[in-house]
A and B are shown apart, each in its own frame.
Chain A
Amino acid sequence: MDEYYLGLVLVPTLIGVLAAVSCALLGNFLVLRKQSLMGDAVSHVVLPGIVVAFIATGSMAVAPMLLGAAVAALISALLIELVRNLGKVEPGAAMGVVFTALFALGVVLLEQSDTRNVHFDVEHALYGNLESLVWLDGTGLSALFDSQALADLPPQLGRLAMATVVVVLFVVFFWRQLVVSTFDPVFAQASGVPVRFIGATLISLVAVVAVTAFEAVGAIITIAMLICPAAAARLMTNRLVPQLLWSVLFAIVSAVVGFWAAGSGMELIGSGFSVSAAGMIAAVSGIILGLCACIGPQRMGALA
């Protein structure tokens, strides 16, 4: 095994996998609730959150940025609800209004502030830089037991691992409430399930995951992973638990294959450059969905 394999390939791949899996798990419920595009909207408004946090603190420290992004994501979810209820407009249009307006605000604030000096730009926000999240001290298996080397692991790895654990715990502990309120909200409310609370928690977790993943891998993976694996999984099975498992599998495959294709795969076909891993992962998840749409055993609805 190449001595750099662990640090340069496995660690960023693992980061990609964690981001993909945590998004995909939540994505199942977004897709079933016909709220897929909430992920899209929430990911877009991370930008203004980060810019505001930067302007407020004047530093690129991670904690305030994550906080700013999370707050912005929650505010956008609230605004969407508000516009939808007050304006009585369809959810899609309400989302479109809110996320474009906030994203525009973010771009203008960014241009007006001096963030450009500290190397931050919109492109980075959109498609991150997964390739750079390497573990330089990870030069062999022995490094796994070397506390000094471990301390040098990219911090994104730990944060994403934590986010993934939180998502899994949420899905396991609130399983019944999630399922009932997704399938039949009226019945759920009548039986005393806190439907609004569950919905709000789901969106908050989407925001948390979007923010954590975004910092590591950019918005594009978040959006793709919140939708594509779950949508593809829906075409594979008619049961919810298998659907979740399929979506996790698709998320892992997208991350691994995408990361490989962006780096080693490009070398393999003899091209001398590497391309955006985030973009490639999103594209692979789209291809998986396309395949499932062609051959997935449950691709047709009962009425179609």
Chain B
Amino acid sequence: MIDVSAFINAVTFNAGYNTAIVAIGAVLLGWAGGTVGTFLLLRQRSLVSDALSHATLPGVGVAFLVMASLGGTGRFLPGLLLGAAISAMIGLACVEWLTRKTRLKSDAAIGAVLSSFFGLGVVLLTVIQSLGIGRQAGIGNFLLGSTSGMLRNEAITLAVLALCVALLVFLFRRPLTLVCFDEIFARTSGINIQRTDLLLMFLVMAVTVTGLRVVGLILVVALLIIPPVAARFWTDKTNVMIVVSGAIGAISGFIGTALSASVPNFPAGPVIVLVAAVLFVISLLFAPARGVFSGLYRSRTFSNKVHMRQGLLAILRGEAIYDRDTIKVLRAKKFIRGDGTPTRTGLDAAENAAREEALWSCYLRDNPDAAYRAARMRLDPIAERLTAGEISELEKQFSSPTTVVSGSTA
């Protein structure tokens, strides 16, 4: 199905001038989308972009009708994009107005604007269709995007736009980062939050409008949403996340356009989004920082430690153990036999666990602020967590008669 040599040509920018230009544009756009999207995610406004992109449709329709009635072809790309930008701004203003002036929450405002603007756009599309001037090639492409059959000057326009957007994002990355990372600090260091938010929305609009023709208005939000959510699994640090997200966006744009150029009937927009989605799934599952598998592994390990400790203490108190998970971890270590009675090693381990519990209790009496961290630390062998000096100090305290094991007031 995939033509390898065509793919290699596409990857090395040798698949024709248009394809190369589109690929460069998609990389820039992907990077800009990923970066701006990170700010959007951190400001918890990801889906505002969805309202914005759907709201472009009436603008495209009106621009087409206006240009056609002025005697043009109506297909003039910069004109259509200008119309898209204007109606996107109107849509955004409506979302803001609904959330500020009424009791509606942002999700309802976004959904309402998205659907009614899109409905209006569809009405205009059918007007254009029945006028017989707007063949599918004209503005149908704005729904799902398309790169095949794109005119050379259209490709250049888009690449230049993408470059401008990328430059703007690069220029303004510092104040945006600051506002997303620490609003209060940003405020005290003299950054106007409202203006920065407005700037963010402008950049979102710019990415959306630029991506419209390539990715289509339904999917262009993916450029803003998927890369940052994927990046989130790799790191907790804002500035790292911005870089990772931009990279994921750029890679998606690049591989997506290359695949689209080398496989028949592989529309660029959806393919770019699918590549991003694949990167997202990989991140979700395998990222070491917050991925599913590492998270499962950690919570499993922790849960086993809890059961081990509780099981051992129960052994020492001579209590019967009923919890299945506890029995499982104890058996795995051969601390109890099949009938639930403790083995010799089990008893030793239990005594050791009780000693460590007691030492930790002493430790916490001296360091109450460490309770939260200690809840995890105390499940590990104490020698791994405290220095030999600290331990011998604790042991001294423990053996002194004035010390009482905590919790005795019950």
Contacts and interface: CB of A to CB of B under 8 A. Distances in A.
Q: Do A and B contact each other directly (Cβ–Cβ < 8 Å)?
A: yes
Interface of A: 31, 34-37, 39-40, 44, 83, 86-90, 92-97, 100-101, 103-105, 107-108, 111-112, 122-123, 126-127, 220-221, 223-224, 226-228, 230-231, 234-235, 262, 273-276, 278-283, 285-287, 289-290, 293, 296, 298-301, 304
Interface of B: 41, 44-47, 49-50, 94, 97-98, 101-105, 107-123, 125-127, 130-131, 140, 143-144, 218-219, 221-222, 225-226, 228-229, 232-233, 265-267, 269-271, 273-274, 276-277, 280, 284, 290, 292, 295
29 contacts: A31-B108, A37-B110, A40-B114, A40-B115, A93-B47, A93-B229, A100-B226, A100-B277, A101-B277, A103-B219, A103-B270, A107-B144, A108-B271, A112-B266, A221-B119, A223-B115, A231-B108, A273-B127, A276-B125, A279-B125, A280-B123, A282-B122, A286-B117, A289-B116, A293-B97, A293-B101, A299-B101, A300-B103, A304-B101
Interface centre among B97, B144, B232 (most CB of A within 10 A): B144
Per DSSP, are chain B's interface residues mostly helix, strand or loop, or mixed? helix
B265 A112 contact: yes
B120 A279 contact: yes
Given A87-B229, A111-B267, A92 B44 contact: yes
A282 B103 contact: no
Contacts of B111: 36-37, 39-40, 223, 226-228, 231
Nearest to A258: B119
Given A126-B122, A289-B116, A92 B107 contact: yes
Given A93-B229, A220-B122, A287-B116, A34 B46 contact: no
A283 B218 contact: no
Q: Please name the 5 residue pairs, one residue from A and one from B, whose CB atoms are nearest each other, closest first.
A: A286-B116, A282-B119, A279-B122, A301-B103, A273-B130
Contact of B222 (A35, A86, A101, A226): A101
Given A94-B229, A105-B274, 6 more contacts: A31-B104, A107-B270, A112-B266, A280-B119, A293-B102, A300-B101
Contacts of A221: 119
A219 B160 CA distance: 34
B338 to A, nearest CB: 37
Contact of A293 (B98, B115, B266): B98
A279 B232 contact: no
Contacts of B108: 31, 34, 36, 227, 230-231, 234
Contact of A279 (B46, B49, B119, B130): B119
B140 A90 contact: no
A154 B275 CA distance: 41
Nearest to B140: A123
B102 A235 contact: yes
B265 A224 contact: no
B133 to A, nearest CB: 12
A100 B225 contact: yes
A79 B369 CA distance: 40
Contact of B116 (A34, A92, A126, A285): A285
A92 B46 contact: yes
Contacts of A123: 140, 143
A122 B41 contact: no
A40 B131 contact: no
A275 B232 CA distance: 44
Interface centre among A39, A235, A282 (most CB of B within 10 A): A282
Contact of A299 (B41, B102, B112, B125): B102
A286 B123 CA distance: 13
Contacts of B49: 96
B47 A224 contact: no
B280 A101 contact: yes
Nearest to B222: A100
A286 B267 contact: no
Nearest to B280: A97
B46 to A, nearest CB: 4
B122 A88 contact: no
A274 B270 CA distance: 31
A286 B55 CA distance: 12
Nearest to B117: A286
A287 B112 CA distance: 10
A111 B112 contact: no
B179 to A, nearest CB: 17
A279 B121 contact: yes
Contacts of A290: 94
A100 B53 CA distance: 13
A299 to B, nearest CB: 5
Nearest to B41: A93
Contact of A286 (B119, B131, B265): B119
A31 B295 CA distance: 32
A100 B277 CA distance: 9
B273 A104 contact: yes
Contacts of B41: 89-90, 93
Contacts of B233: 87
Contact of A276 (B102, B114, B126): B126
B221 A96 contact: yes
A289 B103 CA distance: 13
